[in-house]
Structure 1
Amino acid sequence: MSDQAKDNATMIVFDGDLDKAIASFIIATGAAAMGKKVTMFFTFWGLNVLRKDEAINIQDKNFLEKMFEKMMPRGPKKLKLSKMNYGGAGSYLMKKMMKEHNVQTLPELIELAQDLDVKMVACTMTMDVMGLKEEELMDGIEYAGVASYLSEAEDANVNLFI
């Protein structure tokens, strides 16, 4: 590791809950707006944030991979709150309150992150474990393993796990 970390930020997005995903992107876009080079590394349930809304028919999935595909939320519009979800009512109310207070939606925050050149990386090992294929995830992201994240983290003075 260098004697002094660069003015960069990294974050591991491990969780796929709506509120945690929103917080991740608010932090990432804020850091990018301050001039930091930001890398978001999505792993395990955090990969659901990057899923496309529409189903992709992939023939070479085994039974367990197909089960994961059906059970996991498909993209940022389908994520649930970590607390007080109440069968989707909590997510609906949160989105309503955000709109009333002019807070950007999660899809808008993702688009802003892309506009600010936030590097979004999908964990390839987790994709293998969960049976996710590149064509199931949104465009404009990168694919790498943990060594890539650790290399970025070595050059950062902010490292978060969400």
Structure 2
Amino acid sequence: MSSVPLTKHGAQLLKDELHLLKTKERQAVIMAIAEARAHGDLSENADYDAAKERQGFVEGRIADLEGKLGAALVVDPATLDADGRVVFASTVDLEDLESGDKVTYQIVGTDEADIKLSKVSVTSPIARALIGKTAGDVVGVQAPSGIREYEILEVRYV
């Protein structure tokens, strides 16, 4: 399996979710299965079927998280020294040249991307256009409405 890039914060979120699944969710599913078994005939027991389905989901998610964390390449943005270039985990201030709107994005791994939190995946078109550029550069990004041009105002590593 190839390495999975994660920010330090993103890795901690995955560890927290894994801990919750192993300590609370797994126990809740075991209790639900035991309760459903106590009701008798399992062949027509919807509670048992639902609990077993939930168990499959929880165990699958645990395996997925363990795999991602095992292959994680954790990057702490505070330790980056990229000479002002946009790299994974950096935070970039942009200005849309057409509208004048200013936006800020942090480039993160696919599992931690959340546009509502201004975190874009390293595989997104905007991140791919920004990687390797510096403040003052103008980049074109293919959007559904056509190519959008952005000027990089500042690159930070926080």
TM range (shorter): under 0.3
More strand by share: 2
Question: What TM-score do the two structures reach when normalised by structure 1?
Answer: 0.25
Which one has the bigger helix percentage? 1
Q: What TM-score do the two structures reach when normalised by structure 2?
A: 0.26
Max radius of gyration: which structure?
2
Relative contact order: is structure 1 or structure 2 higher (C-alpha 8 Å, sep ≥ 6)? 1
